[in-house]
């Protein structure tokens, strides 16, 4: 398959959320222009994004909300449940562990890990925080698809090594550190400092 731009994938994800919203509202048909307005883009962009994957609309009519949503779920790989573990049982990690949005979207948080004896064994939801040392064995029993890293910056690389060493192939990294991982491992960074500094820059330079 042709390489798809990350920006395209992000927009598909956005379109899907709008479609789900519209479906809830009972809307059955939607045009590329409607989707574009919701997502702050253009109808040509919407059609181009979809065109990489096939043709989903009816000319003169638009798209079936339900059908397009189903197609996008398929494209984004959301038809299966993804098994997610969270590494780092700090405030952010535990907040994420209980975040309902995960499960709704098919991401099922099945374990939380930490290295601190203070935290290991403590309860979260209906389970207990597990020892980081068990990750490799646990993953061999029932593999995780995605590891979410919510550890301090100085521990991030070491934890990432354990994660990739266990065979996990995707990381969502909340630690403010640039991870070095094998080629086949996919990493997405969520870097708060970067977002805030982007706002800082924009505010500083907005009064021209």
Partner DNA sequence: ACATGTGAACTGCTTCACAGCG
Partner DNA sequence: CGCTGTGAAGCAGTTCACATGT
CB 169 within 8 A of CB 184: yes
Distance between CA atoms of 97 and 2, rounded to whole angstroms? 35
**Which range, of 1-9, 140-148, 169-177, 183-191, touches DNA by CB under 7 A?**
1-9
Distance between CA atoms of 179 and 160, rounded to whole angstroms? 7
- 186 binds a second copy per the rule CB under 8 A: yes
Burial letters 156-195, b for 16+ CB under 10 A, else e: beebbebbbebebbbbbbbbebebebeeebeeeeeeeeee
**Which range, of 88-96, 120-128, 134-142, 156-164, touches a second copy by CB under 8 A?**
88-96
Distance between CA atoms of 102 and 100, rounded to whole angstroms? 5
Nearer of residues 146 and 159 to a second copy, judged by Cβ: 146
Q: Are strands 146-149 and 170-173 parallel, antiparallel or unpaired?
A: parallel
Given 38, 56, 169, 187, the residue binding DNA (CB under 7 A): 56
- 86 binds a second copy per the rule CB under 8 A: no
133 binds, options DNA, a second copy, none, Cβ within 5 to 8 A by partner type = none
Site string for a second copy, 131-170 (x = CB under 8 A): --------------xx----------------------xx
Residue 53 tokens read as 């994957």
- 184 binds a second copy per the rule CB under 8 A: yes
Residues interacting with DNA, by CB under 7 A? 3, 5-8, 31-33, 41-45, 47-48, 50-51, 55-63
């Amino acid at each position: 398959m042709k390489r798809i731009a990350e920006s395209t994938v992000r927009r598909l994800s956005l379109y899907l959320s709008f479609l789900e919203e519209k479906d809830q509202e009972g809307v059955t048909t939607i045009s590329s222009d409607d989707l574009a307005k919701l997502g702050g883009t253009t109808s040509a962009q919407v059609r181009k994004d979809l065109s990489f994957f096939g043709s989903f609309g009816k000319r003169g009519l638009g798209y079936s909300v339900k059908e397009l949503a189903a197609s996008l779920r398929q494209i984004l790989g959301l038809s299966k449940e993804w098994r997610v573990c969270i590494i780092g049982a700090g405030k952010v990690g535990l907040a994420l562990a209980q975040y309902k949005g995960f499960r709704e979207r098919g991401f099922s948080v099945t374990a939380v890990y930490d290295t601190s004896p203070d935290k290991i064994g403590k309860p979260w939801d209906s389970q207990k925080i597990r020892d980081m040392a068990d990750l490799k064995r646990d993953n061999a029993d029932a593999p995780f698809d995605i590891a979410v890293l919510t550890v301090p910056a100085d521990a991030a690389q070491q934890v990432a090594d354990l994660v990739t060493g266990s065979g996990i192939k995707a990381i969502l990294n909340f630690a403010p550190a640039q991870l070095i991982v094998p080629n086949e491992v996919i990493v997405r960074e969520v870097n708060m400092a970067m977002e805030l500094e982007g706002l800082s820059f924009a505010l500083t330079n907005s009064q021209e």
